[in-house]
Amino acid sequence: MPENEYQRLTRARSRTTFISRSSLWLGKDHLLCVDSSGYTETYKRFYFRDIQAVILMASKRRAIWNWVLGPLTAILLVLLLGSLPYTGSTGPNSNLGEIVFFAFLGFVFAVPLLINNLLGPSCVCHLRTAVQTEELSSLNRLRRARKLLNRIRPLIAAAQGELSPGEIPARLRAAVGSADGTTMTPAVSAAPPPDANHPDAPPVIT
């Protein structure tokens, strides 16, 4: 694929380590997850034909931030109101410094609080393929994750076909029933490595 054929899906957001930032891009036939440390980038490609499931799980991230930022904003608001001059007072306003200080600090905490609630409920998004389940850390809000899901659903359907809701239970039962006989997903083998001289031995790269 020629370069610069990716469309941005999500902005870069910190992973749990806070060292790298993750963003999601849409390619012609795959999703590209870019983890950037600022000086290096690591790429993970999820081809539409290989995506098995997308799992959204509600998280307590928004509530936690509300519990951190809410009381602080409330305390600063009370202090700000307390430092305001009485109504009808005619003397010089000696609390101006305090008012500016509390108003500034209140603003610092109130804006993130507002943004946290405007972004909507938080979630954790996992994407599953046959070989891995990857957490997409840039999708941490339910609304944004659903928007992305609605965007990639037709692309996945074009690559894999549709799956009607009534079809899932039957397919699941059939798959679980046949799981003992045939391999549905690559199974990890505990067999010893084959002999190099055996006809079925894999090629040796020199």
Partner 1 sequence: MSAPLIQCPACQAWLLEGVFNQPQLSPCPACGVPLQVEVFPALFRRINPGQSGEIIMVDGESSCFYHPQKRAVLPCQGCGRFLCALCDCELNGQHFCPACLETGKTKGKIKSLENRRTLYDSIALSLAVYPLLIFYFTLVTAPVALFVAIRYWNAPRSIIRRTRIRYIVAIVLASMQIAGWGFLFVALATHRF
* Rounded least distance, CB 117 to partner 1, Å: 18
Q: Phi/psi of residue 127, each to 5°?
A: -120, 125
How far apart are alpha carbons 116 and 72 in whole angstroms?
Answer: 15
**Which residues in this chain contact partner 1 in the complex, by CB under 8 A?**
1, 3-4, 6, 8, 23, 25, 32, 34, 36, 38-45, 49-58, 124, 126, 128-130, 142, 146, 149, 153, 156-157, 160-163, 165, 168-169, 171-172, 174-176, 179-180, 182-187, 199-200, 202-206
How far apart are alpha carbons 73 and 117 in whole angstroms?
Answer: 14
* Rounded least distance, CB 147 to partner 1, Å: 13
Q: For partner 1, give the closer residue by CB, 114 or 174.
A: 174
Q: For partner 1, give the closer residue by CB, 61 or 103.
A: 61
Contact in structure between 89 and 111 (CB atoms under 8 Å) = no
Q: For partner 1, give the closer residue by CB, 88 or 203.
A: 203
* Rounded least distance, CB 96 to partner 1, Å: 34
Half-sphere exposure of 150 (CA within 13 A, CB side): 6
* Rounded least distance, CB 103 to partner 1, Å: 31
Q: Phi/psi of residue 54, each to 5°?
A: -120, 125
How far apart are alpha carbons 18 and 129 in whole angstroms?
Answer: 26
